[in-house]
Structure 1
């Protein structure tokens, strides 16, 4: 059965429901998991909201990830008549064989075993930041004090980036994705980030150290490729996990009855948080040829907006999907994507989250929001990664008892 085209990608989340996808996505999914969608540039493409179809498209290489042939589903980026190709090293916007080459060089450096070896270091960094929180006392922004620094330290150490330089490149990374940044500001920020990484690559070639970037200088990657790949990995490692830790903490502060399940089985609880929050909420693919899908023909050149957060709330896959249930089996969620573009750093993210979140609530059992929940500033939906801008929290200090 054909449906009228959706005239825009639903963006507005219901008031007071910062963790739920826009309600309209659920309505659309209940009628059909694949519908026509009118894009901001006038292109009439598609929108997928169902779990099974999302998984199928992400695994099908007849659908391209290349930016330059896609139509962007969100308002914005009006400065481009067409999207530019992916910068050198940006694996997200590449297809095989370029993507295959990069992925092959990196996959062995992000294995489960290698990432689990970092557990002790993540625990140490987490403890240091919990100590600093305790020393500063109640009343702080959990994003700046805890959620951002832990993954920032880890990705810096993994790549061999001096942590002392983090403020400069974090500012540039934030500007590149800021919805209100001008074209000039974004361009200058990107150039600044690339310039920094190029200097670091040359330094690693001249004097290698014990880190991934130095290790990659022994491959056939050129300086341009190393610069682009390093920039891509740095940005990906900073933004995603920081937002999962912060938004995960916010969700737990709003659902305190779930904290015991987090502490009892952090690994399982993190999978449910990943499903429930789905911070990388929308994917994009473009058909390279005519493809029949769910009784429709997706014509070559048509783009498909893939609603990951709607797919992860599909009741055909997960029972009572709109409820956070940390002891559920959330296997099969698509928070890290699926197919050849499945998140390369997912194991590192899991290690960081399974340590940082339970440690936070164990150290500060009275942790609570310092502002009404509706006053917590959220990132705009048009950004690729959803999350909170700041998370003001406080807690009750332990007071000694008189004996």
Structure 2
């Protein structure tokens, strides 16, 4: 008898020397097996969905539960059977998810975010002032620019003291790491939850003009419990700075690699940012879904109880939708059709804020410092291959 072939592992390795490219296997799968079984680091098999149309269909399907949507499939220490916490806007489905989204969406509308643009511009200017004043005309763009700007914005919006940033940034980094042990993850979660519980308790006594205070004061007949407030607040705080900070630094590196496109980015920042979002797709392992009913995905029959991984970075490199998809092209038609922010009911609630932060950070940086360059050889840069959100750990730059 011949043994059945082993289920192939989820592709996780980027091609050598190509930090902006997703795993090479995706291109082959899109052509030959666009929905195929893989073995995930968490130990379970899942259907890996690689084509753009199929990824959108999976994410739009209300029978696909997002209970594992924190990408637990890439964590070897994941508990796949753990109950979803009340207040988890990322993992709850249906009416429970819609209830939470309704309570926060007003703070993230285009109009509300545009009102914050001047504040973001001020942060960009002040951080560039400080960076350019550093001795030696060198800086780490991550710590001096890319990380503090979205952190300050989300702290201002939510009502979190920026003075506490080192605490929540450290704990956030543990929560998005695929190398953290279960114990380390639980400790980080408990520490951040405890911090937010104290913050919400203080806001109950002394509310301010921020989202956390509004969540407490506008509960009406349907108030959020303290557990719901804490879990919702944790999701917003972590997502609000991790993804955008990594996008700012990685986008800067891309523009340093493509000086010929920098003028286009400065002239049309909205278009450039959409292409950068598509090209980089920093949510690098996709999002996890759980089939609650039998469903057809492409040519495959997916059974109730099976897992699926919607590979966002593969969908955003689908040549049938984005011709010459592996090429950065700021003149690309319809750039906002990408799925970097997901799709469907769980599409990123903070996407408009991320767009404004990226537009202002990148245009402010390259207008102010047109001679920006790497301060170390390219091969010395270290990338976040072991985190849910891809990025560069440090970005030493120089000017003048």
- Band the TM-score falls in, shorter-chain normalisation: over 0.9
Change (3 A) 1:370 1:83: farther
The residue number in structure 2 matching 1:90 is: 88
1:230 aligned to 2:229? no
The residue number in structure 1 matching 2:311 is: 307
2:48 counterpart SS class: strand
- CA deviation after TM superposition for structure 1 residue 178, in Å: 2.8
Map 1:112-127 → 2, pairs under 5 A: 112-127=110-125
| 8 Å CA contact retained: 2:282, 2:390 | yes
Matched length:
389
Q: Where does structure 2 lack aligned partners over 5 or more consecutive residues?
A: none
C-alpha separation in 2, matches of 1:98 and 1:240: 25
2:180 counterpart SS class: coil
Runs of 4+ in 1 over 4 A off after TM superposition: none
1:343 aligned to 2:348? yes
What is the aligned counterpart of 1:132 among 130, 133, 138? Answer: 130
C-alpha separation in 1, matches of 2:76 and 2:259: 37
| 8 Å CA contact retained: 1:107, 1:344 | yes
C-alpha separation in 1, matches of 2:7 and 2:348: 29
1:239 aligned to 2:242? yes
1:56 counterpart SS class: helix
C-alpha separation in 2, matches of 1:206 and 1:129: 33
Change (3 A) 1:75 1:155: closer
- CA deviation after TM superposition for structure 1 residue 107, in Å: 1.4
1:140 counterpart SS class: strand
Map 1:135-284 → 2, pairs under 5 A: 135-137=133-135, 138-218=137-217, 219=219, 220-281=223-284, 282-284=286-288
- CA deviation after TM superposition for structure 1 residue 94, in Å: 1.3
- CA deviation after TM superposition for structure 1 residue 106, in Å: 1.2
Q: Where does structure 1 lack aligned partners over 5 or more consecutive residues?
A: 397-403
The residue number in structure 2 matching 1:12 is: 13
| 8 Å CA contact retained: 1:67, 1:84 | no
Change (3 A) 1:34 1:178: closer
1:21 counterpart SS class: coil
Give TM-score scaled by structure 2 length.
0.93
Change (3 A) 1:260 1:66: same
C-alpha separation in 1, matches of 2:7 and 2:259: 37
2:90 counterpart SS class: helix
Change (3 A) 1:332 1:5: farther
Deviations 1:149-168 (A, max 9, x none): 00000000001111111111
1:92 counterpart SS class: coil
Across the aligned residues of Structure 1 and Structure 2, the Cα RMSD in angstroms comes to: 1.8
Map 1:12-31 → 2, pairs under 5 A: 12-31=13-32
C-alpha separation in 1, matches of 2:85 and 2:140: 34
C-alpha separation in 2, matches of 1:71 and 1:203: 32
